[in-house]
């Protein structure tokens, strides 16, 4: 009799698996929520100005000292704060770079978006699995969408778009390096938001021009970010709806974190418009996180696909699934690259290169 068959007869003879992964998952949301709360309350922004004691910080932020001290100590444990011998708390370089609103690389807007929307929507995951639809109406009421919620005021629009900008600054440089784009002359960045992909592309390719094409409320912030780039003179910003309006002319279109928001029929409609607008030598650059073909990973993409379930009509997809969608509308050839960044890259050619 083999060892494995003995184990089947007497399962108690084997030691229990290490429970550490389960224990880690039980408390994982606590770590996220501690960072969310500190960002939302302005802890990192205030400590970026000067180190403070818990008592002084509590007075500044109108909080209660003892609970705040517990949060601050937890943030020390998370590596986001340090505390010196005089009991003064200060930001670590990690927090100063990514969790303060004044930082050029800030992810604070994305953190607040995660806190104010995603955290609540994920609380409805079970019902989303029962019904197969997003939870926006159940959490925030009828008559809106994920994006309209964050465009309801100038302040919320600004922080949402800057959150996306911070995320884009991490991913877009890797996306535009994934392929040699030097043969293209004009990039049309559809739904380009703050223009982080156009900026990264034009800074890398000195002969490239670009146009950021997005809805009118986005245009002022896109211009503001564009003007900070040394490639600003080669980047235009144009208002428009890529589902309704004529698309700007270019030999390279780009879609960054657009397709994963939508169902196949909407994707088909958009890709059809893009394919018809591209010249024969043109291509479409797509930035999304790709699932492995067997869908056994990566974990980031698997969890992001669940995120799309509770937020939108979309999901994350494999290269093969994107290839099928692209070929349905006439694209001839698709290349894909894993970038090592939060987003991967695909380049779909109108005709075989």
Residues carrying an active site annotation: 260
Q: How many angstroms separate the CA atoms of 53 and 58, rounded?
A: 8
Cβ atoms 124, 307 nearer than 8 A? no
From the list 75, 66, 89, the residue with the least C-alpha distance to 36 is 75
Cβ atoms 335, 160 nearer than 8 A? no
* 337: β partners: 345
Give me the residue label for tokens 């779909």.
348
Q: Provide the CA 32 distance to its chain's centre, in angstroms.
A: 16
From the list 123, 115, 139, 89, the residue with the least C-alpha distance to 33 is 115
Q: How many angstroms separate the CA atoms of 335 and 348, rounded?
A: 6
Q: What sign does the CA torsion over 217, 223, 224, 226 have?
A: positive
* DSSP, res 14: S
Cβ atoms 305, 316 nearer than 8 A? yes
* 286: β partners: 255, 346
Strands 344-349 and 283-288: antiparallel
Give me the residue label for tokens 């609970």.
67
Long-range contact pairs involving 92-96 (C-beta distance under 8 Å, separation at least 24): 95/44, 95/47, 96/44, 96/48
**CA-to-CA dists, residue 350 to 162, 180, 281, 306, angstroms:** 33, 16, 6, 31
């Amino acid at each position: 009799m083999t060892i494995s068959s003995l184990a089947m007869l007497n399962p108690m003879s084997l030691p229990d698996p290490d429970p550490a992964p389960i224990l880690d998952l039980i408390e994982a949301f606590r770590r996220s929520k501690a960072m969310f709360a500190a960002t939302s309350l302005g802890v990192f922004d205030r400590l970026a100005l000067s180190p403070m004691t818990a008592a002084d910080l509590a007075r500044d932020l109108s909080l209660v000292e003892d609970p705040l001290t517990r949060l601050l100590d937890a943030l020390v444990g998370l590596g986001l704060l340090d505390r010196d011998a005089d009991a003064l708390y200060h930001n670590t370089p990690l927090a100063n770079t990514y969790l303060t609103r004044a930082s050029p690389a800030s992810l604070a807007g994305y953190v607040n978006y995660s806190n104010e929307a995603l955290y609540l929507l994920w609380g409805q995951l079970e019902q989303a699995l029962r019904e197969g639809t997003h939870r926006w109406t159940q959490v925030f009421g009828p008559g809106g969408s994920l994006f309209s919620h964050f465009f309801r005021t100038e302040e919320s629009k600004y922080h949402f778009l800057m959150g996306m900008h911070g995320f884009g600054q991490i991913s877009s440089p890797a996306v535009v390096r994934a392929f040699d784009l030097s043969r293209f002359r004009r990039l049309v960045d559809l739904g380009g938001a703050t223009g982080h992909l156009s900026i990264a592309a034009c800074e890398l390719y000195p002969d490239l021009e670009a146009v950021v094409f997005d809805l009118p409320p986005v245009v002022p912030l896109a211009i503001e970010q564009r003007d900070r780039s040394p490639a600003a003179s080669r980047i235009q910003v144009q208002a428009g709806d890529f589902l309704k309006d004529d698309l700007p002319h270019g030999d390279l279109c780009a879609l960054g974190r657009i397709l994963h928001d939508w169902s196949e029929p909407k994707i088909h409609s958009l890709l059809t418009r893009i394919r018809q607008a591209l010249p024969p030598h043109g291509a479409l650059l797509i930035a999304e996180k790709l699932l492995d073909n067997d869908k056994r990973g990566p974990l980031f993409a698997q969890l992001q696909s669940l995120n799309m379930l509770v937020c939108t009509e979309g999901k994350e997809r494999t290269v093969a699934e994107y290839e099928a969608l692209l070929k349905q509308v006439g694209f001839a050839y698709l290349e894909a690259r894993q970038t090592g960044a939060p987003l991967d890259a695909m380049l779909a050619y109108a005709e075989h290169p």
